[in-house]
Amino acid sequence: MSAPLLPAVFGRFGWHDLPFVRAWENPTINELIGAGAGGMVVAGAVFVAVLLTVTGRWRWLWSEWLTSLDHKKIGIMYVVIAFVMLARALVEANLMRLQQAVAIDAPGIVAPDHFAELFSTHGSIMIFFMAMPFLTGIINYLVPLQIGARDVAFPLLNAIGLWLTGSGAALMMISLVIGKFSTGGWSGYPPYTEIGFNPGVGPDYWIWAVTLGSIASTLTGINIAVTIYKMRCPGMQLMRMQMFCWTSLCTAILMVFAMPPLTVATLLLALDRYLGFHFFTNALGGNMMNYANLFWMFGHPEVYIVILPAFGVYSEVVSTFSGKALYGYVSLVIATMAIAVLSFTVWLHHFFTMGQSPSINAAFGIATMTIGVPTGVKIYNWIWTMFRGEVRFSTPLLYSLAFMMTFVLGGLTGIILAFPPLDYVVHNTLFLVAHFHNMLIPGTLYGMIAAYTFWFPKAFGFRLNETWGRIACGCWVVGFYLAFMPLYVLGAAGMPRRTQAVMETVYRPWLYAAEVGAVILFCGLGALFVQLWVSIRHRNANRVFAGDPWDGRGLEWSTSAPPPEYNFAHLPHVEQRYAFYDDKRKYAPYARPPHYDDIEMPKNSAVAPIIGIASAAAGFALVWYMWWLAILGTLVIVATVIARSFVRDTEKVISADEVRRTEDRWLTAVEQARPIPREIESTSANQGLAEART
Amino acid sequence: MSASDDRHAGLNLGKTDTETDDAASSDVFGFWMFLMSDAVLFALMFATYGVMLPATAGGPTPASEYKITPTFIETLVLLTSSLTYGMASVSMKHGAHIRRVLGWMAVTLALGLMFLAMELHDFSDMFSHGAYPTRSGYLSAFFGLVPLHGLHVAIGSLWIVAMMAQLLVFGTDPRVKINLLRLGLFWHFLDIVWIAIFSTVYLPGLIR
């Protein structure tokens, strides 16, 4: 590496930390790929900035979105982050598949440490900056609407969580342009990530990006749990909530209890790296097993943090598109809670091979198999919900069906891995990689895309294009099987995971198949973007302003699409589960209320952007040893929090007149809309008013 | 006991200000959730400490480093500060003159700072014996756990200063009342953590 440039200001940064400089001096394919990736980040940022300037939308972006405390807008921004990061991590996945396919008895296109960066960023992004923001966004958008509330319990904290997540994601992106990322995998095991083996900036990028994401998720967990416990509308007893609220509640509780172990693990690693502590080092009494335990005490509940919300989505989708109430609601609630509790009892199965006694392994193996039981209950619930239902094979339902088949397969291989003796055989092979992708792609990604497709009309007021949705779904399903089933074979044949070069030529056909699968998965993402583009262009033909395009059950469908800022002009009173579904059939949910009241909503606030930018700056400064900036960033955060506590003018009032105008416009549209039978709900005839068929 | 009496038992406004008490319901509950999360943080640091206790790497041991007298005084100081904060809460709740609330908070702040000063003195004492966090896994765990509590006390002290300023600016408006309740929870929580530190770090360390 080159000498640092002005160390007092720029810390340990030198020109050779720029991939462009490295590629200029040493134009190998490996360096060019690195420079190309960095260039794409810079070009993307410049493109967005130019676009905003040309269209004159900076002020709009700032006042309508970035400073907004509206839970719906915050939810949408989370999903935007998730899609951007999904695109990057999917490109990396394709690069890895390509490398392994061409590096059979050959060097391939990326160097070993670059390959290690790829699998580290791919994993870290997919978990912390794709899955987490995606599910947090969906929860944020839906939970207040589903429980009949106007906002979350702590709107500002919500925005701060968004901005901290954004800061972490920004650090991930910056690591492509300045310096290098960690080579230690998404789990960042020391002592390999300790300063002795890895003195560069990579592990520090990982530490601070993940820490920011972890703190953000803790805050989100607190917020969502309090919202569900305290903000439900009159009559909304816990057992009357939509299933998605239950899974969100369990996820929120898991976040509150399972994110701190991650924070502890990353911060102790930071103490080791920055101040020379000996928590996880090889020498002087350090013990890396503590790290393994801490990390997986987070890591296993995390699996359920990302999967439970998807379970909630499937429950909503399957029941809506089968035209039936969810089968076995109570058993689903109990199963969800059981999973949430059991998820804390199985963490050790992530390191069966790391030296415990057989009896400890056996205990955790049995606990692991136990967790399959409530999950199995859920699968039966969904199947029975569809049984004799009036099933419409819409895109979200197709994802749900693909999920049920695929997830059961992944569960079976999970049971194999839960046997410690069998785990010893396939540990650290591609079998494991195949297994967890087999759980997380159907268990999280399909669910999130299904949620995006299902609730998009609610959030934006028009339906997504059905054809492109189906094409995308086909790509995600076919691509998944092609990309990951071969990995089971390769893993069982002994191919280790995280391998940059392959010496065994018999692996070739399987690696080729997996490469094709990766390309098809990428087409799936492409199809989603095409779908979005096509849908925006044809939005006027597909408007569902009346707000209930699928004959929905929950309260979120009882408002206009998109809902007004205050969600509900009058807080709903519910008497039973699926109150809106029943209202449509027995009463008049769209009756004009005799009067409206003023509504207080939180004012926009610049606090969250300031904290977000300051924390990103502090994290970046810590990575590069720019101490002045780290101190400055921290002081800005503290000062902002204290200054905000002196602000009393935090609420604005939406006048009763304005509420009346908004509601009248919507109710008039509802009166003019034609009730739509389910059979033609995916045509332009759908204006968002469902025919109330009994 | 009516529903509002047993809501977030102990620290509450009860019937002295029912409107703010209602508003406090979810705010204070949220802070309880945060404290639970924080408690997990401490629990893991305690577990780490327990696991690393034997990892002295031939360096200083608990028995050679811990001293009962200063830590016992620190315990008394911190426990007393909880009592004085309780007095501040009670005077705020029952509408005492703002000067009384401020007075009790000032005493609490003084005790908190005294605790911090004594703790820092302990640490510098340990440093002077060569008991640095970089010396061994055991000392890393000790300096990961005990100063984490100290950092919380420092943040709590800063919070007390901010709240005293708010009392002067706003009096006891609903936001100030709710934040004083939350600060109280935080301060008493730190007491509980300290009792755990005293009885699982210092006392067993002295036995050996």
Can you give the pTM of this predicted structure? 0.96
Rounded Cα distance, B151 and B116, in Å: 9
Which pLDDT value is given to residue A347? 94
CB atoms < 10 A from the CB of B79, how many? 15
Which chain B residues are within 8 Å of A296, Cβ to Cβ?
none
Given pLDDT bands bounded at 50, 70 and 90, which one contains residue B5? low
Residue B14 has pLDDT above 80, yes or no: no
Residue with tokens 């690696």: A511
Beta bridge partners of A654: A599
- Considering only CB atoms, B37 lies closest to which of A218, A231, A277, namely A218
Rounded Cα distance, B3 and A301, in Å: 34
CB A143 within 8 A of CB A224: yes
**CA distances, A618 to each of A158, A612, A643, B55 (Å):** 21, 10, 19, 33
Residue A657, burial from CB neighbour count under 10 angstroms (0-12, 13-18, 19+)? exposed
Which chain B residues are within 8 Å of A287, Cβ to Cβ?
51-52, 55, 137
CB A580 within 8 A of CB A547: no
- Considering only CB atoms, B166 lies closest to which of A223, A225, A646, namely A646
Say yes or no for a CB contact (<8 Å) between A277 and B51.
no
Q: Where are the beta strands (DSSP E) in A63-180?
A: none
Beta bridge partners of A653: A600
Residue A688, burial from CB neighbour count under 10 angstroms (0-12, 13-18, 19+)? buried
Nearest-CA residue of chain B relative to A154?
Answer: B27
Which one, of A383, A396, A419, lies nearest residue A469 by Cα? A396
CB A407 within 8 A of CB A435: no
Nearest chain A Cα distance for residue B116, angstroms: 20
Say yes or no for a CB contact (<8 Å) between A287 and B133.
no
Query: Would you state the structure tokens that stand for residue A128, as one six-digit string?
Result: 């912390």
Task: Please give the single-letter amino acid code of residue A568.
Answer: F
3-state secondary structure at position A441: helix
3-state secondary structure at position A599: strand
Nearest chain B Cα distance for residue A267, angstroms: 10
Q: Which chain B residues have any C-beta within 8 angstroms of a chain A C-beta?
A: 25-27, 29-30, 33-34, 36-38, 40-41, 44-45, 48, 51-52, 55-57, 59, 133-141, 143-144, 158, 162, 165-166, 169-170, 173, 175, 179
Nearest-CA residue of chain B relative to A256?
Answer: B37
Residue B12 has pLDDT above 80, yes or no: no
Say yes or no for a CB contact (<8 Å) between B57 and A257.
no
Query: Would you state the structure tokens that stand for residue A505, as one six-digit string?
Result: 């030529």
Once rounded to an integer, what is the mean pLDDT over residues B5-31?
76
- Considering only CB atoms, A264 lies closest to which of B29, B44, B158, namely B44
Rounded Cα distance, A466 and A445, in Å: 19
List, in order of start, the domains of chain A with CATH numbers.
Answer: 1-56 (no CATH), 57-543 (1.20.210.10)
Rounded Cα distance, A501 and A507, in Å: 12
Residue with tokens 């640092």: A4
Q: What is the 3-state secondary structure (H, E, C) of A359-421?
A: HHHHHHHHHHHHCHHHHHHHHHHHHHHHCCCCCCCCHHHHHHHHHHHHHHHHHHHHHHHHCHH
Say yes or no for a CB contact (<8 Å) between A648 and B175.
yes
Task: For chain A, give the mean pLDDT.
Answer: 95
Which pLDDT value is given to residue A2? 61
Once rounded to an integer, what is the mean pLDDT over residues B174-197?
95
Residue B2 has pLDDT above 50, yes or no: no
Which chain B residues are within 8 Å of A648, Cβ to Cβ?
170, 173, 175
Say yes or no for a CB contact (<8 Å) between A268 and B48.
yes
Size of interface A-B (CB pairs under 8 A): 111
The secondary structure of A505-551 as a DSSP string is GGGHHHHHHHHHHHHHHHHHHHHHHHHHHHHHHTGGGGB-TTS-TT-
Beta bridge partners of A599: A654
**CA distances, A264 to each of A185, A297, A491 (Å):** 18, 11, 33
pLDDT one-digit tens code per residue, B55-107 = 999 999 999 999 999 999 999 999 999 999 999 999 998 888 999 999 999 99
CB A494 within 8 A of CB A432: no
Say yes or no for a CB contact (<8 Å) between B140 and A646.
no
Task: Please give the single-letter amino acid code of residue A363.
Answer: A
Which chain A residues are within 8 Å of B56, Cβ to Cβ?
285
Q: Which chain A residues have any C-beta within 8 angstroms of a chain B C-beta?
A: 153-154, 218, 221-223, 225-226, 229-231, 256-257, 259-261, 263-264, 268, 271-272, 275-279, 283-287, 290, 294, 297, 638, 642, 645-646, 648
Which one, of B188, B199, B60, B191, lies nearest residue B131 by Cα? B60
Nearest chain B Cα distance for residue A308, angstroms: 20
Element (H, E) at A656: helix A656-672
CA atoms within 13 A on the CB side of B32: 16
CB A465 within 8 A of CB A534: yes
Rounded Cα distance, A37 and A14, in Å: 19
Given pLDDT bands bounded at 50, 70 and 90, which one contains residue B208? low
CB A225 within 8 A of CB A153: no
Which pLDDT value is given to residue B1? 39
Mean pLDDT by 10 residues, chain A (694 residues): 78 91 93 94 96 95 96 97 97 96 92 96 97 97 96 96 97 95 95 94 96 97 96 95 97 96 97 96 93 96 96 97 95 96 94 92 93 93 95 96 96 93 93 96 97 97 96 97 97 94 93 97 97 96 94 94 95 91 88 93 96 97 96 97 94 95 95 92 91 80
- The residue among B32, B48, B179 with the most chain A CBs within 10 A of its CB, best to mutate, is B48
Rounded Cα distance, A328 and A67, in Å: 42
pLDDT one-digit tens code per residue, A407-430 = 999 999 999 999 999 999 999 999
CA A480 to chain CA mean position, Å: 18
Nearest-CA residue of chain A relative to B38?
Answer: A260
Q: Which residues, 6 or more positions from A120, have their beta carbon under 8 angstroms from its beta carbon?
A: A181, A182, A183, A184, A185, A186, A188, A202, A206
Say yes or no for a CB contact (<8 Å) between A256 and B36.
yes
Q: Which residues, 6 or more positions from B57, have their beta carbon under 8 angstroms from its beta carbon?
A: A278, A283, A284, A285, B135, B136, B137, B138
Which chain B residues are within 8 Å of A222, Cβ to Cβ?
30, 33-34, 37
Which chain B residues are within 8 Å of A261, Cβ to Cβ?
40, 44
**CA distances, A553 to each of A317, A583, A692 (Å):** 10, 10, 11
The secondary structure of A226-255 as a DSSP string is HHHHH-PPTT--GGGS-HHHHHHHHHHHHH
B27-207 folds as Four Helix Bundle (Hemerythrin (Met), subunit A) (1.20.120)
Higher-scoring residue by pLDDT: A27, B8:
A27
Say yes or no for a CB contact (<8 Å) between B133 and A275.
yes
For residue A326, give the DSSP letter: P
Which pLDDT value is given to residue B21? 80
- The residue among B32, B140, B158 with the most chain A CBs within 10 A of its CB, best to mutate, is B140
Nearest chain A Cα distance for residue B79, angstroms: 27
